[in-house]
Amino acid sequence: MSVRVARSADAAGIADVAALTFPLACPPGTRPEDIEHFISTVLSVENFEAYIADEARTVLIDEPTEAGILGYAMLVAGLPADPGIRAVLSAEPTLEISKLYVRPTEHGNGVAGRLISSALSYARESGCRGAWLGVNNQNARAQRFYSKHGFEIVGTKTFVVGVQTHDDYVMQVRL
Ligand SMILES: CC(C)(COP(=O)(O)OP(=O)(O)OC[C@H]1O[C@@H](n2cnc3c(N)ncnc32)[C@H](O)[C@@H]1OP(=O)(O)O)[C@@H](O)C(=O)NCCC(=O)NCCS
């Protein structure tokens, strides 16, 4: 299995994948300057170093060869702070799959499947009864991918990118 927990030294490689793939998850019409700002702040190398060091988070990477990181997922333990999301989740303890991004050249190649399988194994081994995530309501490919792995739409939430507020579905899988 080529998926492993990221180390601090992986932060720059993960940030590269994040910069390449975050725009793909944004709905048409998202302002380029807002995407750029999100990448340079939320998805910075420094932030990934902090995410990797954070005990509440686990960053998984798929790196089958020394050629580089093909995709990553970030897991966040515990209930979400947002009461609107908590209200629609029916399985506890739970874990958020906060990010799951794969290089476009690897879409359909099984990388994402390895990452989500590892994430759900990690959740089960941590004693979770469920896992949840937010996905843009226009991101049909990601929704289909999550459905294939047992997730169902249980609610909605919003996600802010710059000046725009995007509409997400909340999806959950019971473990
Ligand atoms: C989401 C992501 C991780 C899924 O990985 P993937 O390798 O593309 O996933 P798969 O190919 O296994 O599954 C995608 C499914 O969507 C289908 N699909 C592709 N385009 C689609 C579309 N426009 N509408 C609906 N379904 C679509 C595929 O046919 C496939 O289904 P199938 O296996 O039944 O044929 C990957 O596409 C990605 O990194 N996207 C960009 C970042 C992103 O959106 N991340 C998710 C943020 S929540």
Does any ligand 1 atom lie closer than 6 A to the CB of residue 24? yes
Name the pLDDT band for 159 (thresholds 50, 70, 90).
Answer: very high
The pLDDT mean for the chain works out to 97
Does any ligand 1 atom lie closer than 6 A to the CB of residue 27? no
136: which strand partners?
Answer: 168
How much is the pLDDT for 141?
A: 97
Name the nearest CA neighbour of 139 among 174, 163, 112. Answer: 112
How much is the pLDDT for 120?
A: 98
Tens of pLDDT, residues 57-97: 999 999 988 889 999 999 999 999 999 999 999 999 999 99
In this structure, what token pair is assigned to residue 33? 């300057």
Name the nearest CA neighbour of 27 among 169, 175, 145. Answer: 169
Q: Which of 145, 147, 153, 170 has most ligand 1 atoms within 8 Å of CB, for mutation?
A: 145
Does any ligand 1 atom lie closer than 6 A to the CB of residue 161? no
How much is the pLDDT for 36?
A: 97
CB 120 within 8 A of CB 149: yes
What is the 135 CA–ligand 1 centroid distance (Å)?
12
How much is the pLDDT for 1?
A: 78
Mean pLDDT over 136-163 rounds to 97
This model's pTM is above 0.95 = yes
The answer for residues whose C-beta is within 8 angstroms of residue 159's C-beta and 6 or more apart is: 134, 136, 165, 166, 168
In this structure, what token pair is assigned to residue 61? 């990477």
Helical (H) or strand (E) element with 119: helix 111-125
